Amino acid sequence: MIPLALIEDALVYANLLLMLTVGFTLTYLIAKIPNFAHGEFAGIGVYITFTVAQVWKSNPYLAVPLAFIISAFSGALIYNGVLRTLKRFGGTMISLTISTLAMQIMISALLNIYADYLYPIAGAYSRLFLFRHLDFEFIGLPGVLIVSTIFLLTLITLLHLMLTRTRFGISLRAVVEDSSLASILGVNVELACTISWMLTAGIAGVAGSLLPLWFQGHPYTGSMLLTSVFAASILGGLSSIYGAMIGAYIIGLTEIFGTYLLAQTFGAQLTAYRSLIPLTILCIVLLIFPRGITGLIEDLQARRASKAMVKIRGEGS
Amino acid sequence: MIEVYDLNAGYGKLHILYDVKLKVNDNEIVTVLGPNGSGKSTLLKTIMGLTTIYGGKIIFDGKDVTKLRPDEKAKLGLAYIPQIGNVFTNLTVKENLIMAGLTLDKSEFNDRLEYALSVFPFLKACLDRKVKTLSGGERQMLSMAMALIMKSKFIMFDEPTGNLAPKIATEVLNKIIELREQSKLTILLVEQAARKALEVSDRAYLLVSGRVIYEGSSKELLEHPELGKLYLGVKKL
Amino acid sequence: MENISWLLDIVVFFAVYLIVTLALNLQYGYTGIPNFGLALSVATGAYTTGALAGRIGMWICGIRSDLDYIMYNPMITSMINSAIRYDPLKGLTIFFSTIIIVVIVSAIIGFIASYPAIRLRADYLMMVLIAMAEAARIIGLNYTPLVGGTTWVSVPNVFIWMGDMASQFLIITILAISILIFLFMQYLVSSPYGRLIKAVRENELTAECVGKDVVKVKIQIMMLGSAIAGIAGSLWSFYCGTVLAAAYTRTDWTFWPWLMAMIGGMGNNIGALVGVATVIICRRLIIYYKYSLEAYIPFSVVWLEQILLALALILVMMFRPQGIIPEKPAKPKIKKTSQQ
């Protein structure tokens, strides 16, 4: 009999992971590099919730829009201040990636400084906290589960509509494929990139802001989530946002249920090794089907298409 | 309509174009010829703003556009159809056409879309198909259709007959002439198929090793006895 | 004596980080494989040392093996130290046998860590290696039988038979090993194998076309680099006298070495030397003036160092990506023919 609390754990975690993974994959598609600082946008969200809940003593859900704005702003700052500048100075893919690592270090340090600074003011454990008790309940389910699910579904729908129906979304997909051609056709590529960085950073910020309502928040939340984000992204296939969504849910559920199963079988001390689960899945994916689920689907479609071609040609001759 | 002075450009530190001077008047069709590697594509890309400019000026419609981004030039009416990478293979045909009409407003786009589809009716059947399912020739047609939709006064074509069969190549070049007649466009054409290009254009430039070595009327060049040698840079004028 | 110990401290830092940076230079500078999981190899060396040096000591000195190594670690370590106090041979045996095992284990870990992604794009490799380095830390922190988990294990003082000069002798040995590794690297990169790895870096496709097995070369380099970085971790453990699992963070053992290699100049060993020296001197200055700094800045110096690390990385990439000592392009040896 699976405890309800575990299912809630898994769903909340999977929801938050999905938000982070979609953003990570989208940034990868646009910038062509992995953004190692992506987790830190969530970290910013975590500490905004702490500020709102513990320092201002307000409803933690007020932190959500604030986290979106501040994280989005940070994303724009990083893209324009660091990445564009580096590109202008002749940055290669590797040096751009290193710069995201540098930003991860910097934001992490800033979050730590902020946590230290808040300690005397907030009078609580600014370096480790949990706000489940501040959450509301609705039909027996924790508020964060409901809010995160609603946010998620809205996000997926809006994202899909934007990418397929709006000119901006189509331009974005065009930039992803061939930014030079998009530019020739009149797309302000840098603006499009900035907007998408803001979007993905903002979404990560929202994920981070909801996190302390169920899981413990601390300065390293962002970087600890990164392994799972990588696994989810690569499992889904770094070429597709929809793949990212599937990958995130698989990794999220597997991580939580897997840890539970291991703890039941081998003892509670195994819960500390939780992040080895996404890492193992990551290695398996890389060894067997590196293009992820999206790659598998594409291969399947290609095989079907070539079978159809053979049929047509066969009929022709 | 467009003038280029003392243009020196290349890719990063690789200097390709040397002191290029070129002019295209309103409603003209001008062609740029030259052997492989002479910098013809680089010239078009430079005018569009996709390369590194070391010196010189580009004047479009009286405005100095040297330092503008490609999308800013596109909004001013400068268009460029590359040789490769001229369609989005992961987008559908319809989405590609939408991209072509990005700078247009809705009603104008619908009109031009109708016109483009009437010129290339086969596209009507593949509107929702991803471009990667189209053949090479079909993609080339699509890029021509996109050219018809673009809101531009001046279009640069980079080897539009590329890898097309001769019959289709002639069709494409005829379409280009039509564009000049019907839409009052100005055209700069880069071509390997020198004879065909000279037959459709008014004036021509010969570019060899990044320098302009000849400029004159296309008719004269066609009848020039030493065209072949000039073309290969063996003989200097 | 005070001043010399301060200097010797820097020397050890320099030697150990030089070894790590040389390993990184081998992998990225010469072969073009970006390794962001260096800390994994260093940690492997350290954890192996922590787990094995004492156990080897127990075995060699015939100390009661019924004691749990981790629980009675302080006692066991002091027993080992007493046993080798007058027995240099046993001390040296512990030292060198540990290092040999460290080399083997680190090489194997280097293989395991790089294998999944070595055929794929650099992005995948970077992600996997960073994740692996984190996993190593988690295992070290939680698997108590390894190095005591959140407490620590002590490492036998293998030069204790030198009496008062034990620590100085250890430092000199570490320095000597680092110089040996430096000379080995210099030899390696000027050999045909060195040309091969540079060819792999420049143009994999071409290298493959002339029949070189690129994947095999990359795996070899990852194993070799990992082994060398493992040695660094091991030497550091002997110097510290303890192994603390939490200390092998990616900031300390991946990012600082990257900065050192980049500042000095990737793709040449002398650059590594210059880079390590530069960064260590700067860091020492920061620590030295820590107290005066803390008066001006409202937060801990630890975070300041990290911010400076991040800034330094970005600034180096923007303004001097080739480093202080850029890599010299290889001059082909042209045979003088009769025409010249």
Asked whether residue B208 carries a pLDDT value surpassing 60, the answer given is yes
Output the pLDDT for position A190: 92
Asked whether residue B210 carries a pLDDT value surpassing 90, the answer given is no
Round to whole Å and give the CA distance between B4 and B51: 15
* CB–CB contact C317 A34 (8 Å): no
**Which of B147, B169, B195 marks a domain boundary?**
B147
3-class SS at C150? Answer: coil
Which one of B86, B99, B108 makes the best mutation probe of the A interface by having the most chain A beta carbons within 10 Å?
B99
Number of structural domains in chain B: 2
Inter-residue contact C92 to C158 (CB < 8 Å): yes
Asked whether residue C254 carries a pLDDT value surpassing 90, the answer given is yes
Average pLDDT rounded to a whole number, residues A54-76: 91
Output the pLDDT for position C257: 95
Number of structural domains in chain A: 1
Output the pLDDT for position A110: 94
Q: Which domain holds residue C167?
A: 2-247
Task: Work out the mean pLDDT of chain B and round it to a whole number.
Answer: 84
Q: Classify residue A140: in a domain, yes or no.
A: yes
Cβ-based contacts of A234 with chain C (< 8 Å): 124, 127
Output the pLDDT for position B201: 86
Q: Which residues contact C43 (CB under 8 A, 6 or more apart)?
A: C133, C136, C137, C140, C233, C245, C248, C253
Quick one: B126 and B29 in the same domain? no
Count CA atoms closer than 13 A to B80's CA, side-chain side: 27
**Partner residue facing A276 (CB), from C34, C127, C135:** C135
Quote the ipTM score.
0.88
Which is more confident, B138 or B236? B138
Residue whose tokens read 């040397």: B18
Number of structural domains in chain C: 1
Q: What distance in Å separates residue A108's CA from the closest CA in chain C? A: 9
Q: By CA distance, what is A289's nearest residue in C?
A: C116
**Which of B123, B147, B171 marks a domain boundary?**
B147
Q: Classify residue A252: in a domain, yes or no.
A: yes
Round to whole Å and give the CA distance between C61 and C89: 11
What's C165-215 look like in SS3? HHHHHHHHHHHHHHHHHHHHHHHHHCCHHHHHHHHHHHCHHHHHHCCCCHH
CA distances from C277 to A220, C13, C271, C292, C312 (A): 30, 9, 10, 23, 15
Inter-residue contact C52 to C155 (CB < 8 Å): no
Round to whole Å and give the CA distance between A222 and A23: 14
Inter-residue contact A243 to A300 (CB < 8 Å): no
Name the token pair of A266. 């081998």
What's chain A look like in SS3? CCCHHHHHHHHHHHHHHHHHHHHHHHHHHHHCCCCCCHHHHHHHHHHHHHHHHHHCCCCHHHHHHHHHHHHHHHHHHHHHHHHHHHHHCCCCHHHHHHHHHHHHHHHHHHHHHHHHHHHHHHCCCCCCECCHHHCCEECCEEHHHHHHHHHHHHHHHHHHHHHHHCHHHHHHHHHHHCHHHHHHCCCCHHHHHHHHHHHHHHHHHHHHHHHHHCCCECCCHHHHHHHHHHHHHHHHCCCCHHHHHHHHHHHHHHHHHHHHHHHHHHCHHHHHHCCHHHHHHHHHHHHHCCCHHHHHHHHHHHHHHHHHHHHHHHHHC
Quick one: B42 and B100 in the same domain? no
Average pLDDT rounded to a whole number, residues C40-52: 92
Cβ-based contacts of A171 with chain B (< 8 Å): 99, 102
Does C252 reach chain A within 8 Å, measured CB to CB? no
Average pLDDT rounded to a whole number, residues B178-182: 75
Asked whether residue C264 carries a pLDDT value surpassing 60, the answer given is yes
Round to whole Å and give the CA distance between A215 and A222: 12
Asked whether residue B35 carries a pLDDT value surpassing 60, the answer given is yes
Name the token pair of A292. 């992820």
Output the pLDDT for position C2: 57
Output the pLDDT for position C54: 83
Task: Determine what percent of chain A is predicted with pLDDT higher than 90.
Answer: 60
Which one of A282, A284, A287 makes the best mutation probe of the C interface by having the most chain C beta carbons within 10 Å?
A282
Binning pLDDT at 50, 70 and 90, where does residue A208 land?
very high
Quick one: B71 and B161 in the same domain? yes
Binning pLDDT at 50, 70 and 90, where does residue A310 land?
confident
Cβ-based contacts of B70 with chain A (< 8 Å): 180, 183-184
**Which of B107, B127, B147 marks a domain boundary?**
B147
* CB–CB contact A273 C139 (8 Å): yes
3-class SS at B162? Answer: coil
Asked whether residue C1 carries a pLDDT value surpassing 80, the answer given is no
Name the token pair of A167. 């000119």
Asked whether residue A22 carries a pLDDT value surpassing 90, the answer given is yes
Quick one: B93 and B142 in the same domain? yes
Output the pLDDT for position C211: 67
Q: By CA distance, what is C135's nearest residue in A?
A: A276
The 8 Å CB, 24+ separation contacts for C286-294 are none
Count CA atoms closer than 13 A to A1's CA, side-chain side: 2
Considering only the C-alpha atoms of chain C, give the largest distance between any 2 of them, rounded to a whole number of Å. 79
* CB–CB contact A187 B75 (8 Å): no
- Please write the tens of the pLDDT for every residue from A96-155: 999 999 999 999 999 999 988 888 877 668 888 888 888 888 887 888 888 999 999 999
Quick one: B107 and B163 in the same domain? no
Quick one: B166 and B122 in the same domain? no
* Type of residue found at A35: N
Output the pLDDT for position B227: 62
Q: If we measure between CA atoms, which residue out of C247, C116, C103 comes closest to residue A231?
A: C116
Which is more confident, A314 or B17? B17
Which one of A92, A112, A116, A283 makes the best mutation probe of the C interface by having the most chain C beta carbons within 10 Å?
A283
- Please write the tens of the pLDDT for every residue from C175-189: 999 999 999 999 998
Round to whole Å and give the CA distance between C30 and A55: 51
Q: Classify residue C326: in a domain, yes or no.
A: no
**Partner residue facing C317 (CB), from A86, A110, A275:** A86
Q: What distance in Å separates residue A163's CA from the closest CA in chain C? A: 25
- Please write the tens of the pLDDT for every residue from C61-112: 777 777 777 777 888 888 888 888 887 888 888 889 999 999 999 999 999 9
Average pLDDT rounded to a whole number, residues A204-212: 94
- Please write the tens of the pLDDT for every residue from C50-63: 888 888 888 887 77
Quick one: B20 and B136 in the same domain? no
Quick one: B183 and B72 in the same domain? yes
- Please write the tens of the pLDDT for every residue from B54-72: 888 899 988 888 889 998 9
Instruction: Mark which residues 157-186 of A lie under 8 Å from C by CB.
Output: none
Which is more confident, C3 or B112? B112
Output the pLDDT for position C118: 87
Which is more confident, A12 or C146? A12
**Partner residue facing C317 (CB), from A95, A106, A110:** A95
* Type of residue found at B154: F
Quick one: B193 and B225 in the same domain? yes
* CB–CB contact A227 C131 (8 Å): yes
* CB–CB contact B74 A186 (8 Å): yes
Output the pLDDT for position B236: 47
Binning pLDDT at 50, 70 and 90, where does residue C10 land?
confident
Out of A39-43, A151-155, C303-307, least confident range: C303-307
**Partner residue facing A186 (CB), from B50, B82, B103:** B103
Average pLDDT rounded to a whole number, residues A226-234: 94
* CB–CB contact B95 A177 (8 Å): no
Output the pLDDT for position A317: 46
Average pLDDT rounded to a whole number, residues A80-98: 88
* CB–CB contact A286 C318 (8 Å): no
Cβ-based contacts of B91 with chain A (< 8 Å): 170, 173-174, 177
Q: Classify residue C154: in a domain, yes or no.
A: yes
Q: Which domain holds residue B103?
A: 86-147
Output the pLDDT for position C340: 43
Cβ-based contacts of A98 with chain C (< 8 Å): 258, 313, 317
* CB–CB contact A171 B82 (8 Å): no
Cβ-based contacts of A269 with chain C (< 8 Å): 142
Output the pLDDT for position B186: 87
Q: Find the CATH number of the domain harbouring A66.
A: 1.10.3470
Inter-residue contact C266 to C328 (CB < 8 Å): no
Q: Which domain holds residue A191?
A: 4-292
Q: If we measure between CA atoms, which residue out of A231, A238, A248 comes closest to residue A156?
A: A248
Q: Classify residue A303: in a domain, yes or no.
A: no
Q: Classify residue B236: in a domain, yes or no.
A: no
Q: Classify residue B237: in a domain, yes or no.
A: no
